Structure formats: C-alpha cells, structure tokens
A and B are shown apart, each in its own frame.
Chain A
Amino acid sequence: MRLQEDLADELAATGASGVIIDITAVEIVDSFIGRMLTMIGSISRLFDAETVIVGMRPAVAITLTELGLSLSGVRTALNAEKGLEILNGKS
C-alpha cells in the first residue's frame, strides 16, 4: 500500500516513463501480492509509464500460475538489464 502511494507520488513528480520492480528477493507470494503488482501496473499506466517486473524466481512464477494470476498488463523480464532493454525499446 505504501509502495503504491510512494510510486504514484514519484511518477507524478518526475514524469518517469518506466517503472522497474525487482522482486529477486521475494521468495513467497500470495494472491494479494499478485493483485498489488497488477494494480501498480494499472496506476503507472495512468501516468503513461510502462511497468516491468524483473527477477522473478521460478517458484514464485509457479505459485502465481497456480493461483491463476498471469499479471496481464505488466511486462516481465528475467533481470533488471533485460527490463531496461524493454523500456528503452519502448520509448
């Protein structure tokens, strides 16, 4: 919740065109986190910024799939480098 507010404030202030969320350190996810990531994607899109989620662990990906969350509307990449490539390719 805090992250969403901070992110919205920051996006409004800087006018950034891309958001990278690195979840390498996230080992366990639940449906709430999945929904939160989608919501962050939607919020960023309102500021015309693309969201890329990077560094997802295999176990996390399997959990999200089993929960039926495919994170539509959010791009994903293997690591931060590739996430940046996606954002650069877009802009």
Chain B
Amino acid sequence: MDVGGTSERMVEYLRDHHDKVVERWSELVTARVRGRISLDEVRREVDDLYSLIVRVLSGADDHAAGELRAALDELSRSRARDSFTPSETALGVFSLKEAVYELVADTAELAPEFLAFSRMVDDLGLRTFEAYSAAREQIISDQASAMLELSTPVVRLWEGIIAVPLVGTLDSARTQLVMEKLLDTLVATGADHAVIDITGVPTVDTEVAQHLLKTVSAARLLGAECTISGIRPQVAQTIVSLGIEFGDIATKATLADALALALSQAGMKVVPQLWSKCRSSRSGRRCSSPFRSTCKTIPSCASRRTWPTSWPPPGPAG
C-alpha cells in the first residue's frame, strides 16, 4: 500500500471528518447491497475499516497495515459466505472514494492528496477481490480432495476377493490413488482376487484404458488376479472401435459375474440354502421351488419324491 503521497493535511482532514465520512460511506454501501445487511451492521464494519485506514495513512503505526489487510480478508470471506458477488464487495470499498470526494470537492488544495488516497482505496478494493477468489478456490480444492477420498472405496466382497467400484471419470491422479489403495488393501487383507467395477465410469477412452491396464498389471505383480466388470454396451463399442486390447485380463458384464468367476477360481461355489421353513408339506400343497430336489428339510416330502429334478416340471397333460 502506497501511503507516501498522502500528506499530514489529508490525514488530519480525514480524522476530523471521521463521523461524517463513516456515515456517508455506510449509506452508500447499504444502498449497493440493497438492504441485505442492516445499516447498523454496515456502520460497525465501516467504522472499524475507516479507523484502520486512517491509522495506516498516518504512518505512525507499524501493525496497522497488517491489521487492515486481515480485516479486509475477513470482510470479503464473510461476504463470500453470504453469497455476495466479489464486485459488490469491491464496490463497497470503492464507495469510500465517493464519500470522501463529496467532502473534499470544495477544498481545492486537497485534490493532489485525494489522488493518492484514491489510489490506496483502489488497492484495498482489489485486495478484497483477491481474498474473495482465494476463499472460493480454497472451498473448491477442499471439495475436490473430499470427493477424491470419497470416490475410491475398496470393499471386501468375500474372503480373498476385493472390489473397487469406480464412479466418475478416471484421470491420472485418481488412478494413482485407486492403485495405491487397491494394492494396500491387497497386502492388508491378503486377497488374491480383485474386481474393478467400472459401471460408474461414463466413458472409456485410450487414456482411461491405459490407467486400468496399469492398475491391473500392478495388482498382478502382487500375485492377485484382476477382473474388470461393469462394461456397458456403449463402453464396449467404444473400446472395440478404439482398438483397445485388454489382453488376457478377464472382463465381465456385471459385478455378479465377476464375483462368480473369482469364486470359481478360488474353488468355491454358491449353492442354494436348505429350506429351514417348509410350508408346502404342512399345508398339503405341492412344492413349487426350483430347488426342491436338493431339499433335505423333510425327507418324506411328497413333492421331493414325485417331481423330477428338471425345471420347469412337465405339466399334468403331458
């Protein structure tokens, strides 16, 4: 902040007309924000700012400049939170010039000093603008990192089988994170199957495919077999037309298929549960379950003995 051009006289003048300037400034700011903040509140903020500005201009106080900057940053942050535009905040500061000019207009000898003063107010206004955009950028980067954390869970599907449901576009930063998380989980759980589900990935281009291949080959180096699942018809068409080769990596249409494959590779099989509550035999009706041939709940169940194991059963007519 350049205070060199402002003489003692200007500082004296500003100090003497403190109440007048603050009053006028508050009115101008309130008019600009169209009543979204009360006049009293504005007057309090403006009063603090004005005192700080006068202290900075007088040059007597070393800490004043820092305090003024902090006050402006805080002001524009709170304005950003209350969804004011940065222009409104900056114009609020600029209207100090208007307020002072109205007073100085009839005092011709202060005109050169006023120029220096107005340059300083410009600096202050621009500073609120910068603080505003810095606050916004902070919010955006916080959200981005939160999203990155949220969007890459690694879940355990079964003993020795883990899955990574990917949602959203894959870029290198995310792939890196996914890869690290996947490999760490592989080591931590001792899993030897990983399913990468790309149902939520809207498009697969050569870059995304490259990232997927990298992830798979890294997992293979840890001795884990990878399956890619959730390839939608449009995605499959894109992959083929781009000429992307997944090589010997197993791909499946759905996560369920991938789980079945992983289970069979692990030497496991899912079989239907034995009936614990059989109602058919008690009610005297014929059992209609497709699994009745494997039912061991009631050995003497009529449905079990008389009906053949094939499904659907042959109708009574033939």
Give A contacts to B, CB under 8 Å: 53-54, 56-58, 60-62, 64-66, 70-71, 75-79, 82-83
Contacts and interface: CB of A to CB of B under 8 A. Distances in A.
A56 to B, nearest CB: 5
B287 to A, nearest CB: 42
B180 to A, nearest CB: 6
B223 interface: yes
Interface residues of B, number: 18
B220 interface: yes
Interface string B169-190: 0000000100110011011001
Given A58-B187, A78-B186, A64 B221 contact: yes
A61 B190 contact: no
8 contacts: A53-B221, A58-B180, A58-B186, A61-B183, A61-B219, A65-B179, A76-B221, A78-B186
Interface string B186-210: 1100101000000000000000000
Interface in B252-294: none
B190 A62 contact: no
Contacts of A66: 214
A27 to B, nearest CB: 14
Given A58-B180, A62-B180, A82 B221 contact: no
B217 interface: yes
Q: Which of A54, A61, A70, A83 has the most CB atoms of chain B within a 10 A radius of its CB?
A: A61
A77 B218 CA distance: 12
B223 A58 contact: no
A76 B226 CA distance: 13
A61 B179 CA distance: 10
A71 B217 CA distance: 9
B165 to A, nearest CB: 20
Given A75-B223, A76-B223, A78-B187, A62 B192 contact: no
A82 B192 contact: yes
A78 to B, nearest CB: 5
Nearest to B176: A62
B192 A65 contact: no
A65 B176 CA distance: 11
Interface of A: prevailing SS: mixed
Contacts of B190: 78-79, 82
B192 A61 contact: no
B218 A76 contact: no
Interface of B: 176, 179-180, 183-184, 186-187, 190, 192, 214, 217-224
Given A62-B179, A65-B214, A71 B192 contact: no
B223 A62 contact: no
B220 A76 contact: yes
Contacts of A71: 221
B215 to A, nearest CB: 8
Contacts of A78: 186-187, 190, 192, 222-224
A56 B192 contact: no
Nearest to B184: A58
A58 B220 contact: no
Contacts of B214: 65-66
Given A58-B184, A65-B217, A65-B218, A82 B223 contact: yes
Given A62-B183, A77-B223, 8 more contacts: A57-B187, A58-B187, A62-B179, A64-B218, A65-B217, A76-B222, A82-B190, A82-B192
Q: When A and B form their complex, which 10 residue pairs have the shortest distance between CB atoms, in order from nearest?
A: A58-B183, A77-B223, A61-B221, A76-B223, A65-B218, A61-B218, A70-B217, A78-B223, A65-B214, A65-B217
Nearest to A34: B221
B221 A70 contact: yes
A21 to B, nearest CB: 12
